[in-house]
Amino acid sequence: MAILHYDNIGIKAIAACVPPEIEYNKDLGHFMTEEEIQKAIQNIGIEERRIAAKEVCSSDLCFKAAEKLLSDNDIDKSTIDALIFVSQTADYHQPATAPLLQHRLGLSKNTLAFDINLACSGYVYGLSTAYAYAFQQGINRVLLLVGETMSKIVSRRDKVNTPLFGDAGTATLIEKGAFGKSVFSLHSDGSGSEVMMIPDGGFRNPTTNESLVDEMDANGDVRNRLQFRMDGMAVFNFGMSEEPRDIKNLLAEAGLDLSQLDLLIYHQANKFMTDFFTKWLKFDKAKTPYSIRKFGNTSSASIPLTIVTELKNAYPERKNVILSGFGAGLSWGSVLLDLTSCRISELIEY
């Protein structure tokens, strides 16, 4: 059972960067009915999303967020010994993006740097990896860069995913200090690998001419095999089967009950779904911050983006906080930590 306990490792600072271009869901009338648009806005909870320009990658958004974080907190770059980049929209198939970011940020060649290829669970997994390194004597600070440009892999004629996904890049600094206890709970279920998937373009199904052929599904959504697809009902089944249970188990592992939890910050998947988890848990909805209305689902970046946009000037009680991510893989995980001393930068635009 992947339960990890840490003492006095924590998040020193978080920053986030979004593209300046806003796409409003109310403007998707060219391929969605007014009723579909209203469902997306009212039930899924998304009014607008940020869309990266053609030449802007996840790593670019993360780079800006990292520079903001380092500058705001007067961080000596030589104190960063590890850089972890989490994304499913990396710069290249090869090489990994993390070394590029190490060089671009001017970090030492003695920095360990690698990518983690996970989607919506990626922030929690990335944090757990960063904590594991930060726990080591040879590591001072870990820079965790988590970003996604889902807009580049979603079909523009997909009524499910176009109104759902936005782009963002984030930076999180992890170090040793008086952060108290943290507990992680991590899970995987590859039997659900097809629930959220881009079928072609890897080495199982290499790109062919057929990969680029548009296909219409039973709901009238059009996409090719190099674009993201999701079985929404299967995601919902997965979420309601696993998420509330994981949160309850994590609290039990930490010896807390739900009433002692200050905040529950979900991956911003879909407000209908996460509100349902909150109701099922009988947790106070006022303690579940959302950034989804203005930024949509930004995959692995959504939890740190929510911390930046929602916790900068609100939610002062943040000693017992759960961050919970779930998505493609299937992969899910939660962490209980203390964000009291976490410094949050103002959101920046690219």
The tokens for 282 are 């009988």
57 annotated active-site: no
Which of 112, 240, 258, 348 is close enough to bind other proteins by CB under 8 A?
240
The dihedral formed by the CA atoms of 150, 154, 156 and 158, expressed in degrees to the nearest 10: -130
The residue from 108, 117, 207, 237 that contacts other proteins (CB under 8 A) is: 237
**Is 297 an active-site residue?**
yes
For residues 297, 303, 304, 305, the Cα torsion angle rounded to the nearest 10 degrees is: 30
- Whole-angstrom Cα distance, residue 112 to residue 6? 21
* Nearest distance, CB of residue 216 and other proteins, angstroms: 15
Instruction: Kindly tell me the sign of the dihedral angle through the C-alpha atoms of 246, 247, 248, 250.
Output: positive
In terms of Cβ atoms closer than 10 Å to its own Cβ (0-12, 13-18, 19+), residue 204 is exposed
Assess whether 120 carries a catalytic annotation: yes
The minimum distance between CB 120 and other proteins, in angstroms, equals 17
| 347, 18 Cβ separation under 8 angstroms | yes
Contact map string, positions 41 to 70, toward other proteins, x by CB under 8 A: --xx--------------------------
Residue count, binding to other proteins (CB under 8 A): 20
**Are the CB atoms for 228 and 258 separated by under 8 Å?**
no
What is the closest distance, in whole angstroms, from the C-beta atom of residue 71 to other proteins in the complex?
A: 43
Find the shortest distance in angstroms from Cβ 150 to other proteins: 19
Does residue number 234 form part of the binding site for other proteins (CB under 8 A)? yes
The residue type found at 111 is T
The answer to whether 219 contacts other proteins (rule: CB under 8 A) is: yes
Tell me the per-residue interface mask from 258 to 297 with other proteins, x by CB under 8 A, - otherwise: --------------xx--x--xx-----------------
Between CA 153 and CA 48 the distance in angstroms is 18
The pair phi, psi for residue 310, each rounded to 5°, is: -105, -30
CB of 274 to other proteins, least distance (A): 12
Of 57, 62, 120, 342, the active-site residue reads 120
* Residues making contact with other proteins (CB under 8 A): 35-36, 39, 43-44, 160, 219, 231-234, 236-237, 240-241, 272-273, 276, 279-280
